[in-house]
Amino acid sequence: MVATRSARCAASPARKKPTSRAKSPARKPVARAKSPARAKSPARKAKNGLPDAPHTLQTGRKHSLAQFLMSRVMIIFEEGSNVPPGSPSAPRYGWYAASSGTFAVLGLFAVTRFTGPVFPGHKIEAGICVVQTVCSWGNDVHSFGRPSKWKNADRLVASVNILWQMCKLVWLEMTLLEYAVWIGGLCVALCCFQRGQKLLHARSPRAPTKKDFSSSLAWHAMWHCVLPFAAGAWMWVRGRRLGVGCDGLVCRF
């Protein structure tokens, strides 16, 4: 019996010990594909202390310096208004409407208060000032907030007038006082213009509040007044130095 049992054990195949189940390969967590980094908006860049790009006061869109200058040139040929839709109409009477007439007052001053030319072509400038008054009233009062040909006329005449004034700094010999009056008046006038535009477009493209709109008209009227006043003061200082100033109310044409 012992031999038989041992023979059976030798004849039967060896029993394998039950092995543990093969471990399935460890599942690695699939990493989610990273989405491309979102470009930070200009507002976020500004919060992080990065410099912000220059922008136009009329639209608030971002431009480079070259694009900004080109837009200033191209806007001359546009009939559209840069006033936000829904803004109130500009008053056709009162101090705001009358402020456009200051350019004509400057032209009248130029041709009546001097016995001789203050600078070459000062009577031509007087005529430009009269045309500027008509175009300014048509743009800033008559067609305020509406597309019109007055937009083209006012922008074109204003651009020619500003270029004319800037050329004086190049080809005219001035004293230190004349430079101070001219440059100081021009800087103050431009600050008034910018402030008025900023208030007008404070909520662009939505209409400004009543307070901002009234303040915008006031600053724009100051722009109309400061620039002719500074030009007239400069003429007077220069005319007295050249000996062509007149003490009477009206001299001669």
Residue 24 inside a domain? The answer is no
Residue 213 inside a domain? The answer is yes
> In angstroms, rounded to a whole number, what is the distance separating the alpha carbons of residues 3 and 20?
34
Burial of 152 (0-12, 13-18, 19+ CB in 10 A): middle
DSSP string, 205-243: TSPPPHHHHHHHHHHHHHHHHHHHHHHHHHHHHHHHHHT
Domain that holds residue 169: 90-242
Residue 143 inside a domain? The answer is yes
Residue 218 inside a domain? The answer is yes
Residue 57 inside a domain? The answer is no
- pTM over 0.85? The answer is no
> In angstroms, rounded to a whole number, what is the distance separating the alpha carbons of residues 113 and 252?
7
> In angstroms, rounded to a whole number, what is the distance separating the alpha carbons of residues 136 and 153?
9
Q: In terms of C-beta distances under 8 Å and separation of at least 24 residues, what long-range contacts does 215-222 make, across chains too?
A: 217/90, 217/91, 217/96, 218/96, 219/192, 219/193, 219/195, 220/96, 220/99, 220/140, 220/192, 220/193, 220/196, 221/95, 221/96, 221/99, 222/99, 222/192, 222/196
Q: Total structural domains in the chain? A: 1
**pLDDT in tens for each of the 253 residues of the chain?**
444 454 454 445 545 444 445 455 555 555 555 555 554 444 444 444 444 433 334 444 455 656 655 666 676 677 778 888 888 888 888 999 999 999 999 999 998 888 888 888 888 888 999 999 999 999 999 989 888 889 889 988 888 887 888 888 888 889 999 999 999 998 999 999 999 999 999 888 889 999 999 999 999 999 999 999 999 999 999 998 998 877 666 665 4
Residue 47 inside a domain? The answer is no
Measured in whole angstroms, how far is the alpha carbon of residue 41 from the centre of its chain?
20
Residue 70 inside a domain? The answer is no
> In angstroms, rounded to a whole number, what is the distance separating the alpha carbons of residues 154 and 5?
123
